[in-house]
Amino acid sequence: MNRLIFIIFSILITLTACKRDKDDKLQTFRYTNPKAENTTVKENTAVNEPLRLNDRDNTTKKPVRVNRNLEENDRRGLELPAKLKDRSENMLKRRGFTVSYNNKYNCPNYVAWHLYSSRLKGNSHRTKFEEDPQVAKGHRVQWYDYDGSGYDRGHMCPAGDNKWNQDATDETFLMSNICPQVHNLNEGVWNDLEQKCRSWAWKGKDLYIVCGPIYDTKNPKTIGKSQKVRIAVPDRFFKVVLSASDYTTAIGFIYPNRNTNLPMRDYCVSVDSIETITGIDFYHVLDDDLEDLIEAECSPGKWGIQ
């Protein structure tokens, strides 16, 4: 009898020890390596299951190779931004440029043109500022509206980019192509940028340029002799330049409308950043991949800007 009780007692002790050992191992697994269970499942299923489409894409995806060479047909109207839907826009087509005119601010939204070396050749001469007969009378700026304002009549498309034709030069002096500019900017670093663009064109670059005013408030300062035709004074100016010669690339510039004299590199920005500020969609006729690539760039050194 005592022997039977001893055997039963021994069996109970053995079973209790085995259960405790199993529980200890389970606790060790769960708390010292909480991710091990999930990792094991993933590894096992990876062996038995085919690679999912998304996984395959992620493991084999290569960078998109963008063709930067533009054919002539791809360049037609390249300088013109997309139609503006959030503001007044009166499109004025000239011989050498196009104006998007804003009847609220009595200034251009932007001016766009195509610049290449032959447009810099010719004997045309500077002329006098004139009202633009294509602008409605209630929004037509007169040359004398700037008198006594403290601001220059600042060309958006410069006369020097239209030496090829006297009529084209004359049209740059229409007041629809003009914005109020601080004298130091107009005659200084803004003029330097205009000359820089011409130097690129002389070297064979095929350029597509857009420039215009930036207003940082909805109610900017105004000038003008008449209380009916008030001209909004920009806070800043932008210019975007695309070169379509062989290797298509682009760069942007923002200049404050005040006395400023920093190196040109300090005014360089991406085209994307100007689109964000202005709400204007530049170079929208390009293939999306190429547009995204060049508008994100800002590489002054590649343009010879030190």
Encoded amino acid at 199, one letter = S
∠ CA 205-206-212, nearest 5°, is 110
Residues 6+ apart with CB under 8 A from 90: 100, 101, 102, 103, 135, 136
* String of DSSP letters for 245-278: SSS-EEEEEEEESSS----GGGGEE-HHHHHHHH
Which of 260, 115, 117 shows the shortest CA–CA distance to 184?
260
Which of 240, 301, 226 shows the shortest CA–CA distance to 269?
240
Q: Are 110 and 100 in contact (CB under 8 A)?
A: yes
166 half-sphere exposure, CB direction, 13 A CA radius: 5
Distance (Å, rounded) from C-alpha 214 to C-alpha 257? 9
Residues 6+ apart with CB under 8 A from 47: none
36 half-sphere exposure, CB direction, 13 A CA radius: 9
In the chain, DSSP assigns E strands to 90-93, 98-102, 107-115, 152-155, 178-181, 207-214, 222-223, 231-232, 236-243, 249-256, 268-269
Active site residue 155: yes
Catalytic residue among 114, 125, 139, 155: 155
Which of 99, 117, 115, 96 shows the shortest CA–CA distance to 107?
99
User: Which residues does the annotation mark as catalytic?
Assistant: 155
